[in-house]
């Protein structure tokens, strides 16, 4: 929201008051916090303290590398929930100090410092990170409050019912600084120049709306900011004042945390501690998911035909997904298969699994109840549904006729809903697609626990997915539950996974989705997926095949559409050539399976460190390369693989390789960076490059794992042993029974890396261990 008209004028219809001076500073007794009293005019005599507003700015050392800043106008405002759960795993210790010198007061949280100017100086708070790096600051006229419509005297604020009140801060954007994250946003990767509203909405992927608004952003200067409120937040990112990032909320308080790096990995690791680390997902979830699509007509016979067709094509399906119409029309959601289409769901699911047609089964659901649902009357009578202020159940005809919303602030409603989920698990369902959760009303509603409707709008997605995830974790165990969710907010990373929502079947929408995935990964989420081929429309065969390459190199991969199916033979009239849709899909399913051990290993590190597995923005791995902060058409899969999807029908693609030697995983060709590369790829190929110094665990069809080294030169084979031993300690290599003795493992060094080429370099038992000694991986490593 803009409060000014250019640099000199206040916006029409607005009154603004700024913190002009730090009048006094109070140290908290534990020496971990400062409270600043900041009047909105400079105080030169006693009379100046009258008829004047103040802002209280509380600064606290929260954790090493994290400082919170909270600006408050009227402290008596009721603090309604919900609130983000901070440090859900445990509150950390912090090494905090307060020092005062030369009219400056410095609060430190480890190496991160906040320096406050004294009363005789203009208002200013400077933030510096490790090694004295300048991060950002709050300068003159950067913290304030605003009234809309404008007020002419303070007496008018006696009745605030028709007056909007905002508080805001403006942190400085440095020269060349870029800003990234804020959830799954589909516009430009760098948010500088944009006005962003954090308000979950079901708007597809071609607008400024987002399903997943996450109040966290990352700066190219090596710090991040988490805005600690689930309510609507409006940001002007260099779009009101070009040199400032303004954050505003309607209310009396605004709190955010500045998180030091110096690297993006450091920032994300600290952010994960603050809001919760992602949970692990089961191994089978990384395979191919096949959906019925949304409005297509299907029954048991259709499902069986899809799966048998995939088996005939030698394309294994790990998860089969039943989308909306497994339920009877108008009865969403009643958690019961449509008996006309699926007379024996439990039996059907068992047959699907027993015959090897798929490993697991997923079904679609949402947190709404249409009036025709057999469960509606029960839920309404028991108080499980959101109500209007007059006591009526909240209903509208958007999506489902007479639709109501489950009130997850009611513990009894949560237990009831979890019982419905458990009933699905009882018949063999393994995963739940938790769709919707964005269009949650913020006016004329009352939540069971008294939560503020404006704050609940975004936070509802957290409650909804937490409820379902808890039921599944109770059944399957920690790390074995997995959702397929659309809506999210800060903290939702604990309940994986999420997918990118409704994209069109166009190359532009594929690029939009990629940008959304990059921003989402920079917001603390480890796992992400996309509807391969696009959701809306019918993808032309060339685009489907290019999207297959993109989608199979995301952390999770699902074929899904709206009113058209995504089985490959339906895309190109069952073209049986080596560049037909069936062959292309088979190729990339095989590539992902071959990389399975690597993906699992990188997933474990991603969960541990708060990193995205895929899509991982290039700047996470190469923060010192300025080009990496602008790359929005390529990504990393884990720490060692670059993926550059192809968006052109002729197969042409341009991408960037950072410094070092890079080897094509598909062709074996070696290229040097840093430089831009132009290539033309067949439909069954994509730029997929391996980082120098990588030892990839590769899984063969039979399950055996071998390790292949990239960029290891002759005479440097000892590095392989070091990498492998370190990898095992870090659980980077998934080890099965065939690898219980390291002497059975052969590590091949790519010929392109050898000098001279005639010298074959392998790592055998003599390299890995004395010949007479067998090295095994014990249970402690495997656990």
Q: How confident is the model at residue 749 (pLDDT cuts 50, 70, 90)?
A: very low
> Can you tell me the mean pLDDT for 14-23?
97
> Can you tell me the mean pLDDT for 281-289?
98
DSSP, collapsed to helix, strand or coil, labels residue 326 as helix
- Cα–Cα dist 520/624, whole Å: 21
DSSP, collapsed to helix, strand or coil, labels residue 36 as strand
- Cα–Cα dist 166/246, whole Å: 12
- Cα–Cα dist 221/209, whole Å: 27
- pLDDT at position 664: 98
Q: Residue 420 belongs to what H/E stretch?
A: helix 411-426
Q: How confident is the model at residue 719 (pLDDT cuts 50, 70, 90)?
A: low
Q: How confident is the model at residue 726 (pLDDT cuts 50, 70, 90)?
A: low
pTM tops 0.85, yes or no:
yes
Express each pLDDT in 29-42 by its tens digit. 999 999 999 999 99
- pLDDT at position 703: 85
- pLDDT at position 718: 62
Q: Catalytic site residue 438?
A: yes
Express each pLDDT in 489-547 by its tens digit. 999 999 999 999 999 999 999 999 999 999 999 999 999 999 999 999 999 999 999 99
Radius of gyration of the chain from its Cα atoms, rounded to whole angstroms: 28
Check if the beta carbon of residue 312 is closer than 8 Å to that of residue 356: no
Q: How confident is the model at residue 723 (pLDDT cuts 50, 70, 90)?
A: low
- Placement of tokens 């095989």 in the chain: 590
Q: How confident is the model at residue 702 (pLDDT cuts 50, 70, 90)?
A: confident
- Single out the catalytic residue among 228, 502, 572, 621: 502
Distances in whole angstroms, Cα of residue 224 to Cα of each of 62, 107, 129, 616? 15, 18, 11, 17
- pLDDT at position 717: 60
Express each pLDDT in 613-649 by its tens digit. 999 999 999 999 999 999 999 999 999 999 999 999 9
DSSP, collapsed to helix, strand or coil, labels residue 207 as coil
Express each pLDDT in 553-612 by its tens digit. 999 999 999 999 999 999 999 999 999 999 999 999 999 999 999 999 999 999 999 999
- Cα–Cα dist 335/353, whole Å: 21
- pLDDT at position 727: 54
| Residue 373 confidence (pLDDT) above 70 | yes
First to last CA, the chain: 51
Check if the beta carbon of residue 679 is closer than 8 Å to that of residue 726: no
Express each pLDDT in 412-432 by its tens digit. 999 999 999 999 999 999 999
Q: Catalytic site residue 531?
A: no
| Average pLDDT along the chain | 92
Burial of 242 (0-12, 13-18, 19+ CB in 10 A): exposed
CATH 2.60.40.1760 residue spans of the chain: 4-77+89-172+223-260
Q: How confident is the model at residue 476 (pLDDT cuts 50, 70, 90)?
A: very high
Q: Catalytic site residue 392?
A: no
- Name the DSSP class of 667: T
| Residue 731 confidence (pLDDT) above 70 | no
Q: Which two tokens stand for residue 584?
A: 């292309």
Q: How confident is the model at residue 91 (pLDDT cuts 50, 70, 90)?
A: confident
- pLDDT at position 724: 62
CATH 3.20.20.80 residue spans of the chain: 283-365+410-436+452-609
Check if the beta carbon of residue 218 is closer than 8 Å to that of residue 267: yes
- Single out the catalytic residue among 137, 240, 334, 435: 435
- pLDDT at position 188: 97
- pLDDT at position 776: 35
| Residue 275 confidence (pLDDT) above 90 | yes
- pLDDT at position 466: 98
| Residue percentage of the chain with pLDDT more than 70 | 91
| CATH superfamily for domain 283-365+410-436+452-609 | Glycosidases (3.20.20.80)
- Single out the catalytic residue among 17, 236, 240, 438: 438
**Looking at the domain 4-77+89-172+223-260, which fold is it?**
Immunoglobulin-like (2.60.40)
DSSP, collapsed to helix, strand or coil, labels residue 332 as coil
- pLDDT at position 766: 32
């Amino acid at each position: 929201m803009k409060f000014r008209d250019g640099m000199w004028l206040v916006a029409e219809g607005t009154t603004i008051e700024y913190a002009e001076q730090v009048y006094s500073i109070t140290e908290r007794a534990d020496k971990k916090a400062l409270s600043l009293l900041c009047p909105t005019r400079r105080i030169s005599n006693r009379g100046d303290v009258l008829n004047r507003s103040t802002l209280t700015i509380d600064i606290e050392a929260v954790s090493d590398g994290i400082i919170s800043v909270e600006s408050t106008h009227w402290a008596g405002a009721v603090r309604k929930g919900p609130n983000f759960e901070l440090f859900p795993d445990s509150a950390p210790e912090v090494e905090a100090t307060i020092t005062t010198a030369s009219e400056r007061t410095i609060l430190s949280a480890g190496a991160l410092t906040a320096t406050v100017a004294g009363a005789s100086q203009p208002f200013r708070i400077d933030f510096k990170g490790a090694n004295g790096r300048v991060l950002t600051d709050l300068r003159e006229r950067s913290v304030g409050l605003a009234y809309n419509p404008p007020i002419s005297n303070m007496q008018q604020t006696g009745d605030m019912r028709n007056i909007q009140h905002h508080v805001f801060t403006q942190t400085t954007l440095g020269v060349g600084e870029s800003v990234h994250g804020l959830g799954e946003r589909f516009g430009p990767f760098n948010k500088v120049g944009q006005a962003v509203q954090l308000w979950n909405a079901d708007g597809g992927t071609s607008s400024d709306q987002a399903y997943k608004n996450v109040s966290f952003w990352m700066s190219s200067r090596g710090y991040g900011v988490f805005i600690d409120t689930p309510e609507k937040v409006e940001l002007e990112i260099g779009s009101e004042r070009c040199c400032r990032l303004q954050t505003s909320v309607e209310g009396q308080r605004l709190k955010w945390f500045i998180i030091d790096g110096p690297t993006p990995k450091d920032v994300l690791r600290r952010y994960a501690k603050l809001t919760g680390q992602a949970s692990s997902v089961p191994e089978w979830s990384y395979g191919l998911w096949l959906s019925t699509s949304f409005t297509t007509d299907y029954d048991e016979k259709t499902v069986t035909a899809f799966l048998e067709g995939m088996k005939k094509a030698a394309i294994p399906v790990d998860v089969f997904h039943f989308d909306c119409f497994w339920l009877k029309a108008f009865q969403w959601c009643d958690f019961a298969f449509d008996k006309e289409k699926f007379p024996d769901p439990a039996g059907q699911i068992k047959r699907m699994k027993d015959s090897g047609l798929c490993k697991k089964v997923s079904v679609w659901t949402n947190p709404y109840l249409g009036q025709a649902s057999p469960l509606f009357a029960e839920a309404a009578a028991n108080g499980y549904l959101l109500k209007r202020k007059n006591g009526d159940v909240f209903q509208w005809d958007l999506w489902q006729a007479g639709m109501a919303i489950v009130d997850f602030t009611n513990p009894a409603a949560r237990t009831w809903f979890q019982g419905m989920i458990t009933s699905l698990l009882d018949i063999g369902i393994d995963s739940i697609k938790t769709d919707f959760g964005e269009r949650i009303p913020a006016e004329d509603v009352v939540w069971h626990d008294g939560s503020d409707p404006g704050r609940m709008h975004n936070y509802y997605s957290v409650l909804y997915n937490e409820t379902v995830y808890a039921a599944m974790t109770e059944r399957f165990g920690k790390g074995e539950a997995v959702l397929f969710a659309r809506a999210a907010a800060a903290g939702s990373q604990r309940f994986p996974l999420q997918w990118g929502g409704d994209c069109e079947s166009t190359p532009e929408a594929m690029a939009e989705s990629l940008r959304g995935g990059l921003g989402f990964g920079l917001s603390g989420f480890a796992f992400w997926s996309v509807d391969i081929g696009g959701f809306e429309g019918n993808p032309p065969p060339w685009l489907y095949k290019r999207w297959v390459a993109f989608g199979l190199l995301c952390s999770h991969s699902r074929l899904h559409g709206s009113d058209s199916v995504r089985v490959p033979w339906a895309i190109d009239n069952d073209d049986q050539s080596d560049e037909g849709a069936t062959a292309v899909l088979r190729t990339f399913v095989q590539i992902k399976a071959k990389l399975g051990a690597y993906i699992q290993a990188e997933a474990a590190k991603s969960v541990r460190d708060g990193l995205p597995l895929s899509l991982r923005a290039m700047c996470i791995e190469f923060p010192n390369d300025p080009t990496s902060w602008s790359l929005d058409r390529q990504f990393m899969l884990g720490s060692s693989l670059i993926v550059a999807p192809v968006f052109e029908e002729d197969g042409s693609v341009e991408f960037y390789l950072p410094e070092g030697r890079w080897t094509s995983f598909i062709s074996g060709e070696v290229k040097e960076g840093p430089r831009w590369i132009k290539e033309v790829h067949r439909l069954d190929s994509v730029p997929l490059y391996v980082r120098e110094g990588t030892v990839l665990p590769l899984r063969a069809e039979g399950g055996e794992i071998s390790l292949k080294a990239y960029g290891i030169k002759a005479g440097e084979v000892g590095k392989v042993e070091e990498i492998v031993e370190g990898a095992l300690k870090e659980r980077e290599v998934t080890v099965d029974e065939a690898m219980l003795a390291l002497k059975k493992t052969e590590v091949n060094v790519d010929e392109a890396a050898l000098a001279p080429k005639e010298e074959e370099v392998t790592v055998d038992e003599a390299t890995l261990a004395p010949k007479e000694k067998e090295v095994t991986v014990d249970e402690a490593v495997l656990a």
